[in-house]
Structure 1
């Protein structure tokens, strides 16, 4: 069963729930008549400054808004909590995702959506790298326009979801770059994703092949990198130095513990 995990950061407790129950059982919604666990939730919500939501499988599924997600996001904002969206998708640029949310009556400002391609670009800038070999969907090339495309001596190889364009020929183009010292930068490390009723390989297995062949360690910009969620939550955590407030992160996973079983995070 597809689950949505809720991570509380800082802290060590994670609660796994079915895809929409992170929202339906939310303390934010308990006051709006949505079934929840009010005593636990009221105390929980008082400690929060904001919520970070994954998109695919949490807010919408295969492009369609999940039942209750629109009301839930509105309720989060209504009680004064900050709300950000974080997604691993490397097939669509940020602007397209914002328009998709708005078409489904989910409000999102331009800086409310944090994507893995943007996290990858930020990592390159922080590392002082400007020359890259780029392997991403044509629709997300615009996220990397600050960098020079160099297929001779790139400083880094940026790889994302390419669908059927992940071929042996492409792997053999990436391989010598990494063997030559280029940093392998993976936008996200998803193993697979669901398209309609079909499970499809994502970028993870292909980049893992390069990682194995070159005996190198890939840098992951998106999920499951903790830095990715930290960067997405950063705008929500600007609280006074002595504040103990935290941010909750809800994301999709494919399996998890029972709905009320706490899980300790490392």
Structure 2
């Protein structure tokens, strides 16, 4: 069966028909939507380029009076750096609108009080974890994010040793892979799963798909789940969280969503060719975008 290209995403014809149906027939009273929680990588940008129509979709959402927050499992960049990158692509996003798995992780660790940590985290986000004690002898907590090609046997075995002696495992996320301009890359989740299996311990996830990550943002905006919509490209983080929280949602068929098939689970409420569909969706659901 031949595939079709829709707004930069490769979509099988059967799925393309479903995209058309679900984008036009959206259940529920969507005029109640007051806030959008949007993914970034694979939804707004992909492999160093803006998704076509992303900038216009964000402007339409702002014109409609919706509150916007951008939730991402990117662990190696500060919100200010991410905002600057999006702005370079013409997408109007402010640093204070961005919530990362790393910022959530730092907040959680600080809430624990007097604990010591062993970090395998990118140096670029060290400032987020200032004030947290570091311990390379007997830490209370092992914290692992994406350190890319710095992952090796020595550091993983060191982390395993701490876990074996009783340390807890806290991670921003457990994504298995991601994309950069070179192609698909292993993410920290692949290594975290190995440590979980070896140590018999389950990691506490502070970023997506943790319900707490999403509910804390909704609480900060003063909106209920029934007044919120989640949009992203990842079934296992964005869509799984949305369904757990009973929040309206859409899977975009860009980024990781480009490989979506109708047999995949969880099955999303809406399928969109890309974030560009948001502009038409807002108009059809009664929001004024002029």
| TM-score of the two chains, using structure 2 as the length reference | 0.71
1:167: which partner in 2? 152
SS in 2 for 1:102: helix
Q: 1:55 aligns with which of 40, 45, 52?
A: 40
1:62–1:196: 8 Å Cα contact kept in structure 2? yes
CA RMSD of aligned residues (A): 3.0
- Cα distance change on mapping 1:264 and 1:194 into 2, 3 Å: closer
- Cα distance change on mapping 1:246 and 1:129 into 2, 3 Å: farther
Specify every segment of 5 or more residues in structure 1 that has no aligned partner in the other structure, as ranges.
4-16, 27-35
2:122: which partner in 1? 137
Please, which moves more after superposition, 243-252 or 46-55?
243-252
Q: Which has the higher helix share?
A: 2
SS in 2 for 1:111: helix
After TM superposition, give the deviation of residue 40 of structure 1 in Å: 4.2
- Cα distance change on mapping 1:173 and 1:49 into 2, 3 Å: same
1:72 paired to 2:57: yes
Q: 2:228 aligns with which of 227, 237, 247?
A: 247
After TM superposition, give the deviation of residue 47 of structure 1 in Å: 1.4
1:227: which partner in 2? 212
2:31: which partner in 1? 46
2:39–2:232: 8 Å Cα contact kept in structure 1? yes
Q: 1:126 aligns with which of 87, 97, 111?
A: 111
1:114 & 1:201 partners in 2: Cα distance?
22
1:116: which partner in 2? 101
What does residue range 192-203 of structure 1 map to in structure 2 within 5 Å? 192-196=177-181, 198-203=183-188
SS in 1 for 2:95: coil
Q: 1:210 aligns with which of 175, 195, 198?
A: 195
2:46 & 2:260 partners in 1: Cα distance?
19
| TM-score of the two chains, using structure 1 as the length reference | 0.77
1:11: which partner in 2? none
CA-to-aligned-CA distance 1:218-261 (integer Å, 9 cap, x gap): 1111122222222233323x15xxx7842111111235465xx9
Specify every segment of 5 or more residues in structure 2 that has no aligned partner in the other structure, as ranges.
7-14, 235-255, 270-290
1:32: which partner in 2? none
1:218 & 1:152 partners in 2: Cα distance?
20
After TM superposition, give the deviation of residue 202 of structure 1 in Å: 0.6
- Cα distance change on mapping 1:122 and 1:71 into 2, 3 Å: same
- Cα distance change on mapping 1:25 and 1:146 into 2, 3 Å: farther
List 4+ stretches of structure 1 deviating above 6 A: none
Q: Which has the higher strand share?
A: 1
SS in 2 for 1:158: strand
Q: 2:166 aligns with which of 163, 181, 189?
A: 181
